Amino acid sequence: EVQLVESGGGLVQPGRSLKLSCTTSGFTFGDYAMSWIRQAPGKGLEWVAFIRNKAYGGTTEYAASVRDRFTISRDDSKSIATLEMNSLKTEDTALYYCARVDLLVWFGEMYYFDHWGQGSLVTVSS
């Protein structure tokens, strides 16, 4: 059974840092890309960050709202994905989901989120 468990959330002051972890099991972590998606209280879903697996270069992508502040990484030996968040703002307050990313390939490619964790709440407030 595929499982993703987020941890590391909490209350933090604006301008400070926080690191989220996504511990996975039930699949070969190194075969998949991973991503973080967030949901502000009472709002919709917002994609945050993405990291390809090593076979596709391990490259990263970020939403404009977090680029240069957030860093996604992966440790294939531990099956963990991490989101380091710096210079946090009140608007970063959200439930942060970790998701496994699968890939549909034809003459193009489409990445989609096929398994999700239960989320880790990050509250940025003074």
Partner 1 sequence: EFVLTQSPGTLSLSPGDRATLSCRASQSVGSRFLAWYQQKAGQAPRLLIYGDSSRATGIPDRFSGSGSGTDFTLTISRLEPEDFAVYYCQHYGWSRWTFGQGTKVEIK
Beta bridge partners of 84: 19, 71
Please pick, from the candidates 21, 24, 35, 82, the single residue that binds partner 1 as defined by CB under 8 A: 35
Residue 80 or 99: the one with the smaller Cβ distance to partner 1 is 99
Please pick, from the candidates 18, 119, 122, 124, the single residue that binds partner 1 as defined by CB under 8 A: 119
Q: Specify whether the CB–CB gap between 53 and 79 falls below 8 A.
A: no
Beta bridge partners of 99: 35, 116
114 binds partner 1 (CB under 8 A): yes
Q: Report CA Rg, the chain.
A: 14
Sign, CA torsion 82/64/100/93: positive
Please pick, from the candidates 29, 50, 70, 96, the single residue that binds partner 1 as defined by CB under 8 A: 50
42 binds partner 1 (CB under 8 A): no
27 binds partner 1 (CB under 8 A): no
Please pick, from the candidates 19, 102, 121, 123, the single residue that binds partner 1 as defined by CB under 8 A: 102
Residue 13 or 25: the one with the smaller Cβ distance to partner 1 is 25
- Rounded to a whole number of angstroms, the distance between the first and last alpha carbons of the chain is 40
How many chain residues bind partner 1 (CB under 8 A)?
24
Please pick, from the candidates 13, 17, 28, 118, the single residue that binds partner 1 as defined by CB under 8 A: 118
> What is the helix (H) or strand (E) element at residue 98, kind and residue range?
strand 94-105
